[in-house]
Amino acid sequence: MAQAYHIQSRWFSSLRYRLLTLALVPLLLLAVTVVVFAAQWTTNFTYEQLFTKVNTDLRVAHDSFQRIQSEQEETILTLASSKEIVSYWQNPTELVKWVDVQRELNEYNYLILLSQDGEQRLGQGGWLPHTMHASPLTQSALSNGVTPGGGTGIEIVPVEVWLSNGLLEPGKVVFPLIDTPRAAPSDRSAEDRAMLIRSVHAVIDENGDRIALLEGGRLLNRDFDFVDRIRDLVYGPGSLAPGSLGTVTVFLDDVRITTNVPSSDATRALGTRVSEEVRNTVLQLGEQWIDRAFVVNDWYISAYEPIIDVNDERVGMLYAGYLEKPFRQELFNAIAVLSALVLAGCLFAICAAMLGARSIFRPIERLTSVVRATAAGKSTRVGAVESVDEIGELAAQFDGMLDTLEVQRRKIEQGAQLLEDKVQLRTTELRQQNQRLTDSLTLLKQTRQQLETAERLAALGELTAGVAHEINNPTAVILGNMDILISEIGEDREDVATEIDLIIQQVYRIRSITHRLVQYSRSENDQLSPSAQTVSLPDLVSNTVRLIQHDFLDDSLVITEQHDCTQDALVDPDEMQQVLVNLVRNAVEAINQTSVKGRIVIATKDLDDKEVCIEVTDNGAGIEPTHIARLFDPFFTSGKELGTGLGLSVSFGIVRRHGGRIDVTSTLGAGSTFTVVLPVAASAPYVASNSPSVKAAPIFDTEDVLSEFKR
Ligand code: ADP
């Protein structure tokens, strides 16, 4: 449906097809009108010709009918005047024989001599009365005195009387009536009347006296020879179209009494009846019928005229006609040929018009397709067209216009590209500036944080250094006095040995704390230890693990090393070892809070060409998210029995002094990862400080630390 609509809309939207439609529709209408008119005219003309012919045929049949009557008239008159009658007059037997011979010779159905008054009839037994009804012709012969009188005419006679007088053969006259389509309704079942061509003339002797009447006649019922003769005369060879059939019929009233019209079983259609409309026209109105008529079982071109009897009454009809079908077929063939010719002409005209239209419209269609392609963004041209008329000029102008447009478009595109490049450049510059600004802001933020941290740590360092100094003095005094006390109590020393050991142990613990505090405070000094050197992190890690494995490792803990680091870092190995020990110790403590089998992975990696790192990952208890921000604060501890909360803060200070940082990630219940990030040796900010001329005290030596505090 959609397809059909598409084709239809394409047809109506195309200029070519619309103009073709405008040109061809009137042509087609004209062709149809011509065919219809020609068909009508041909039909009318043909039927007029057919009717004229059948009318002529009827005339010929009529003339034949009349001539047969005239011939009979002449023959009877001649016989009535012949000498034989007079010579045999005295010998009735011979006379009867002579009459019979004449009847046979002239093929009459009957020929009889009547007495001069018409009352008696001459037979084998002499003059005998008869019961035949008198004809008006007999009256005429009698009334004319001695002149021949009488005449010839058609008469309908009752059959029984004639049969009883032995004048007609019974089987010839009566026959059944056959139901016929279109005939007027009738309740008669058989035709028992006879139609005669009856002739009567007076016989005059040599004295001029009428001595008898000679009467003869021809029965038309079943007289096939009669109708066949007329048919052969009217419809001779070549007078009809092939396949047609010429027929002649004599009707008594409306019944076919002799005919050559075939019935459906190919016998003569005797006893069939004429159609009602013909009967009404011919018998009732007395008019001729020249038209088509349904004869027995088919349509015939027919002509009927009434048969008038001696009483001047319409007693039957004479018919001549021929089968319509072959003529109709010929007519249809002629119309079909005409239609085919007109159709072929139309087709030829359509083809010629379409071919002609193609050459006219092709340039226009090319123009249209170029317009469509241009609208769709494609670059095409109409190109050279055959026509040199206005359309050709239009196509050339259109191509020129498209060329101009193309040039303009290119210019616009170039301008747009230029503009876009500039915008791109500006955007990149802006982005770079924005990035620089962001970097600056980040740096500023980091610097501020570092400053804040530095300030905070400096303050804390100062405080812790003071506190350590103040605590160290009393511990030294306590230890000194403990020595005096031990020597004073002498042998009683054993009784309080436990208390003395506890005091000394706690004093050393205090000194350890103060030592770490000093370390922490010293970490605020940004100077790198003079013993810093280029170190391979995998070596550093392996050495440290080897050092601590006896302290930490048992069956419930595994330490694994993974070394991918290829670059060296500039670090103080001892300090960095202390950091690692701190991290491993914290990991072990976190693992101990769980019941899992402990796993610690220490990995070294190159982060990039500027930074390397050591990752310490455990599967311990993990860290509360709220604790992570405070991990590196001094004294922050989760409350372990021996925890000081200084391990991470001191480690952070050490790493920071090396120009690095410590990152933490942790999942509560799953474990933590501490990442010590260090600059690679080549880009370390403290390379210069690695000079041997720089002097700084080692931070692990407790005595040195104490002496520093004392100073
Ligand atoms: P201390 O170990 O003496 O408490 P630290 O500064 O070394 O002090 O550690 C501070 C706190 O950080 C610890 O008390 C502990 O709660 C937490 N911590 C450090 N490392 C880990 C770790 N690997 N897993 C879980 N918690 C840790």
- Domains of the chain plus CATH, in order, are 528-690 (3.30.565.10)
Q: Which residue has the higher pLDDT, 577 or 453?
A: 577
Give residue 586 CA to ligand 1 midpoint distance, Å: 5
Let me know the angle formed at the C-alpha of 131 by 125 and 137, rounded to the nearest 5 degrees: 105
Give residue 652 CA to ligand 1 midpoint distance, Å: 13
The two three-digit tokens of residue 537, written as one number: 């992190």
pLDDT at position 622: 94
Radius of gyration of the chain (CA): 76
Name the closest-CA residue to atom 10, ligand 1: 637
Instruction: Write down the mean pLDDT value for the chain.
Output: 83
pLDDT at position 524: 52
φ and ψ of 704, to 5 deg: -60, -40
Q: Tens digit of pLDDT for each residue in 366-409?
A: 888 888 888 888 888 878 777 777 777 888 888 888 888 889 98
Q: Does residue 495 have a pLDDT over 90?
A: no
pLDDT at position 145: 53
Name the closest-CA residue to atom 13, ligand 1: 637
Q: Tens digit of pLDDT for each residue in 601-622?
A: 999 999 999 999 999 999 999 9
How remote is the C-alpha of 89 from its chain's centroid? 108
Q: Tens digit of pLDDT for each residue in 198-240?
A: 998 888 888 878 888 899 999 899 889 989 999 998 888 888 8
Name the closest-CA residue to atom 18, ligand 1: 586
Q: Does residue 254 have a pLDDT over 50?
A: yes
Range of lowest pLDDT (7-16, 163-172, 250-259, 535-544): 7-16
Q: For ligand 1, pick from 512, 513, 589 the residue to mutate: most ligand atoms within 8 Å of CB.
A: 589
pLDDT at position 676: 96
Q: Does residue 189 have a pLDDT over 80?
A: yes
Name the closest-CA residue to atom 15, ligand 1: 638
Q: Does residue 427 have a pLDDT over 70?
A: yes
pLDDT at position 21: 80
Q: Does residue 484 have a pLDDT over 80?
A: yes
φ and ψ of 629, to 5 deg: -65, -20
Tokens 């330490």 appear where?
Answer: 559
CB-based pocket (< 6 A), ligand 1: 582, 586-587, 590, 618, 620-621, 623, 631, 636-638, 640, 643-649, 672
Q: Does residue 255 have a pLDDT over 90?
A: yes
Q: Does residue 361 have a pLDDT over 80?
A: no
Give residue 638 CA to ligand 1 midpoint distance, Å: 7
Task: Provide the pLDDT confidence category of residue 532 given band limits of 50, 70 and 90.
Answer: confident
Amino acid code (one letter) for 105? L
Give residue 115 CA to ligand 1 midpoint distance, Å: 178
Amino acid code (one letter) for 686? Y
Q: Tens digit of pLDDT for each residue in 442-451?
A: 888 877 876 7
Q: Assess contact for 154 and 117: CB atoms under 8 A.
A: no
Name the closest-CA residue to atom 8, ligand 1: 645
SS3 call for 207: coil
Give residue 650 CA to ligand 1 midpoint distance, Å: 12
Q: Does residue 467 have a pLDDT over 70?
A: yes
Q: Tens digit of pLDDT for each residue in 652-699?
A: 888 988 889 999 999 999 999 999 999 998 765 544 333 333 333 333
Residue 177 exposure: Cα atoms within 13 Å on the Cβ side? 21
Give residue 521 CA to ligand 1 midpoint distance, Å: 20
- Ligand 1 atom closest to the CA of 586, numbered from 1: 20
The two three-digit tokens of residue 388, written as one number: 């040199």
Question: What is the C-alpha to C-alpha distance for residues 610 and 535, in angstroms, rounded to an integer?
Answer: 15
With CA atoms as reference, report the closest residue to 581 among 496, 663, 648, 488. Answer: 648
Residue 257 exposure: Cα atoms within 13 Å on the Cβ side? 26
Q: Tens digit of pLDDT for each residue in 9-48?
A: 555 556 767 777 887 788 888 888 888 898 889 888 889 9
Q: Assess contact for 319 and 64: CB atoms under 8 A.
A: no
pLDDT at position 525: 55
pLDDT at position 12: 56
Cα-based distances in Å from 684 to 180, 244, 286: 136, 131, 147
pLDDT at position 421: 93
The DSSP bridge partners found for residue 306 are: 317
The whole-number average pLDDT for the span 356-362 is 74
Range of lowest pLDDT (52-66, 106-120, 446-460, 637-651): 446-460
Q: Does residue 126 have a pLDDT over 50?
A: yes
The whole-number average pLDDT for the span 550-558 is 76
- Ligand 1 atom closest to the CA of 671, numbered from 1: 24
pLDDT at position 679: 92
pLDDT at position 704: 36
Range of lowest pLDDT (141-145, 320-324, 488-492): 141-145
Q: What percent of the chain has pLDDT over 90?
A: 30
Give residue 584 CA to ligand 1 midpoint distance, Å: 10
Q: Assess contact for 87 and 200: CB atoms under 8 A.
A: no
Give residue 526 CA to ligand 1 midpoint distance, Å: 25
